[in-house]
Structure 1
Amino acid sequence: MSDRPVFVVGCPRSGTTMLQLMLHSHPRLAVTPETRFLVPVYYGRREYGDLRDPERRRTLAEWISGDRTTKFRELKIEASDYIEQVVDGPGSLGSVIGTAFRMYADRFGKARWGDKRPSYVKQVDMLLRLFPDAQFVHLIRDGRDCVSSLKEMPWYTLNSYHAISTWAEAIDAGNKLRRTLPEDTYYELRYEELTDDPETELKKLCHFLEEDFDPAMVSPREAASDAVPLHKVWHSNTHGDVTRARVGSWANRLESWEISVCEAALGERLRANGYELSGAPAPSKVHMAKLQRTMQKRRASRKRKNMRDRLNRLREPGPVAALLTSEQRALAGIPQQRVESPELAGRA
């Protein structure tokens, strides 16, 4: 049976929390709430030095479990137990991070763990460095629905141009992943099809994950109390039945100029993913110029960040890849432990 980590990715407001709960409802999968420590730990790895030193692992584990920004407490595992397991565990960055997720799965008696954060779709290279056997599930939703939903979120402080750019970046990242990753590593599905026929789509997804389908996945609302923190009121819909009520609601939630900009800028991407255009009039040059400036600034920011990371890789303080699952250990060249039956052990 597989013990590979699973990451749910996509554009924000594309239904990734719903999919998280569907997977969490599976008897072998536990998918965490967003924890907010994986990315900062990776980019701050030089600060903690070579994690083959147990005391350095302790220092990092204490920060992960004790700092308020990490949301570690939402995993509901004991910080002291986590710290000790990290100290006693493998000496790599991925192992320190992965131990928290593994312990979360242990809470539910499940064999595999997963993590959900939409922006991971643009950070798959980083995630594969940490968890080289990971699988990625990319949920795609109509970009116009994503933009309209983002605008309404209390935590989203950017404008519509940024929302449009966010969807375009997620789709472009997915296109690259589809071309470059093995078939057993990357999987795409559409929100509209998942909500229309959850059982069929989840059976296909389970085949990709090498898991048996479980009917509980179709009605994931019971998992919401475990995997969706109560303070996230914008995920209140996940506590009910799976519904298509919001499909296509962008037509009543976006202003006319926003629809025009969306379809002009995202038209090819929308059509390529099976979404029909409304035939909205062409947007003004002023609106398109603002969008282009926004996209250029975001692109330049990503390039700068990627360049810094490439430089940091040349000065890596210690091992990065996790050594927790059977495939992770195999990829690192670590012999698999032979487990003898009690009968054989007794004859020895």
Structure 2
Amino acid sequence: MATCASTSVRPVFVLGCPRSGTTMLQLMLHAHPRIALPPETRFVLPAYEDRLRFGDLREPDNRAGLAQWITGRKETRFHELGLDAHSVAERIADAPPTLGSALGVPLQAYAERHGKVRWGDKRPAYALHVDAILRLFPDAQFVHLVRDGRDCVASLLGMPWWHRGFHEAVATWAQVMDVTRRYARRLGPDSWREVRYEDLLADPETQLRGICAYLGEEYAPETTEPHRLAGTAVPARKTWHQRTHGALDATRAGSWQQRLTPDQIRLCEAVLGERLVRNGYELSGAVRPDPAELLHYRRVEALRRAAHAKRRMLDRLARVREPGPVAARPVTTSEFRA
């Protein structure tokens, strides 16, 4: 039994563009003896965006309604956590009366189920909603996984759940990179850590040592073998994550050269080139794309950014009507026995 005095239990959020390797990183951190990251949940952002419907959480009935919304609906993916819904609902009802405190309960319960003291969550969508996460969990630490945008686009196009097309995939990576760059500057090295997917594959120990140091944790060698947990920590329905069940494979880096067409490469490098170079990726030197293709992309990109601006405006309006605070009460331990 080891005693750790004044150990941080700040929540850890893994984010990035879809298909950037966030599930692999989730498994790596979940392998740490003190950290638990569950399968991708669907209750944090939806609850925040729809928070007015739950009313004043200082009222017991409202907390009970929120607890049922989290634990009793298939859409929240709560059932994939392997927790007792009734027990968690009771804990939510007894938690401090803020939305952040309530949402932290099932994640903390998941950590306890695995004998861990520190909880976190992984979802690529958090990359565009860092403000919401910080309002709910002001002491959060973020790990942003960056992958070559061309590889992300190629991978997205092969996913059974991606129905938005090539131009939308390109615009998604561009938007994630732009938004997260602003948060990296704002939050600084105490709350934001950026890691390249390619570096994590090529030298997992060095990168994971850096991540653990950032989180204030000792390095754990088992984090370099995420495949050992894939069978229990990745839902079987997610067949697109089958590679997480095998050893780390650095050959996946740069596969865009075989998976994208010459026309697709031309567009990617024309609109993503500066961002790619800034993050250490070399360009192939492809010629300019067809002007009609470029115009199509600009329209898709503009619509995405307009939708994001609208969400931010609606969030500001909702803040005026909030009946009470949303932030979770920070949790620290003066003494923890592991």
| Superposed pair shares fold, TM > 0.5 | yes
Q: How does 1:1-348 map to 2 (within 5 A)?
A: 1-323=7-329, 325-326=331-332
Alignment size in residue pairs: 329
Q: Give the superposition deviation at 1:317.
A: 1.9
Counterpart position of 1:334: none
Distance 1:232 1:54 in 2: 37
Note if contact 2:139-2:330 (Cα within 8 Å) is conserved in structure 1. no
Q: How many Å separate the matches in 2 of 1:155 and 1:292?
A: 24
Check conservation: 1:35, 1:70, Cα contact below 8 A.
Answer: yes
For residues 75 and 135 of structure 1, what CA distance do their matches in structure 2 show? 22
- SS of residue matched to 2:145: strand
The alpha-carbon deviation at position 182 of structure 1 amounts to 2.9
Name the residue aligned to 2:3. none
Task: Determine helix, strand or coil for the equivalent of 1:187.
Answer: strand
Show the counterpart of 1:330: none
| Runs of 4+ that moved beyond 4 A | none
Question: Deviation of residue 53 (structure 1)?
Answer: 1.4
| Distance in 2 of aligned mates of 1:178 and 1:301 | 22
- CA deviation after TM superposition for structure 1 residue 34, in Å: 0.9
1:130 is aligned with what amino acid? L
- The residue matched to 1:34 in structure 2 has which SS? coil
For residue 225 of structure 1, report the CA deviation from its aligned partner. Answer: 2.1
The answer to whether the 8 Å contact 2:27/2:227 transfers is yes
Higher deviation after alignment, 22-31 or 167-176: 167-176
Q: Identity rate of aligned residues, in percent? A: 51
What is the DSSP-based 3-state SS (H/G/I as helix, E as strand, rest coil) of the residue aligned with 2:289? coil
Matches of 1:14 and 1:115 in 2, distance apart? 16
Question: Highest relative contact order (Cα 8 Å, sep 6+), 1 or 2?
Answer: 2
Any idea what the Cα deviations from partners look like across 1:11-52, whole Å, max 9, x if unmatched? 000000000000000000000111111111101111110111
Contact 2:137 2:330 in 1 (8 A): no
TM-score, with length taken from structure 1: 0.93
What secondary structure, in the 3-state scheme, does the structure 2 residue paired with 1:132 have? coil
How far the C-alpha of 1:324 sits from its partner, in A, is 5.3
- 8 Å Cα contact 1:22/1:220 also seen in 2: yes
Question: Per-residue deviation at 1:55?
Answer: 1.6
Q: Partner letter of residue 328 of structure 2?
A: A
Cα separation, 2, equivalents of 1:15 and 1:278? 23
Structure 1, unmatched stretches of 5+, are 328-337, 340-348
Alpha-carbon separation, structure 2, partners of 1:226 and 1:38: 22
| 1:247-280, Cα deviation, whole Å (9 max, x unpaired) | 1100010011110000000000000000000011
What is the distance in 2 between the residues matched to 1:220 and 1:40?
Answer: 29
Deviations along 1:77-107, one digit per CA (max 9) or x if unpaired, are 0000011111111110001100010000000
> Which structure has the larger Rg?
1
